Amino acid sequence: MSRQLADENAEARRWAARDLLNCPNCSTDLLLRLNEESDGSVREVILTTLTRVGDALAVAGLVTCLRSEDVALRNEAIEAMKQLPDEVAPIMQDLLHDESSDMRIFAVNILESLRHPQVEAWLCEVIAHDAHVNVCGAAVDLLSELGSPAALQPLLQLKERFPDDPYIQFAADLAITRLNED
């Protein structure tokens, strides 16, 4: 089956990616192929299979994709990780504290539809402690959509941390207004 992932025919690679779902330890082969696959439809099936497998290796491989220079692959990995709330939750703290601000923004993007009970708490932690204004901005935008009154105090503190940043002031005010309406 692994050899078929390298077949010249995209249809054969798609079928191989689908069929690997039932093979133990298939994540390694799928991730190797994902990093070199140029056909979008094959990549989609590989990502779907990785999501359905959802083992630790699949999640780790998706995290590696977040560091890729390939923007499409990064976005596809984010979408795949959103489908794995229980599998991604244990590594979310690491992602939100990554040394790369881009990785932290990607982590916030994953939270957008992760459907995990900790999402609001993670976002509040980001706006309370992250030093990078763009990471905080991404978190505020999301809190504006799915926050509760529990986010009000962290939002007020964020405004104090970045008093000269017009976007943070605007976004935090908008989020506070929305949260007060609920």
**How much is the pLDDT for 48?**
96
Instruction: Answer whether residue 112 shows pLDDT above 70.
Output: yes
Q: What is the mean pLDDT of residues 81-88?
A: 93
**How much is the pLDDT for 181?**
85
Helix/strand/coil (H, E, C) string of the chain? CCHHHHCCCHHHHHHHHHHHHHCCCCHHHHHHHHCCCCCHHHHHHHHHHHHHHCCHHHHHHHHHHHCCCCHHHHHHHHHHHHCCHHHHHHHHHHHHCCCCHHHHHHHHHHHCCCCCCCHHHHHHHHHHHCCCHHHHHHHHHHHHHHCCHHHHHHHHHHHHHCCCCHHHHHHHHHHHHHHHHC
Can you give the pTM of this predicted structure? 0.88
Q: How far is CA 111 from the centre of its chain?
A: 6
Instruction: Answer whether residue 89 shows pLDDT above 60.
Output: yes
Task: Read off the pLDDT of residues 136-157 as tens digits, 9 standing for 90 and up.
Answer: 999 999 999 999 999 999 999 9
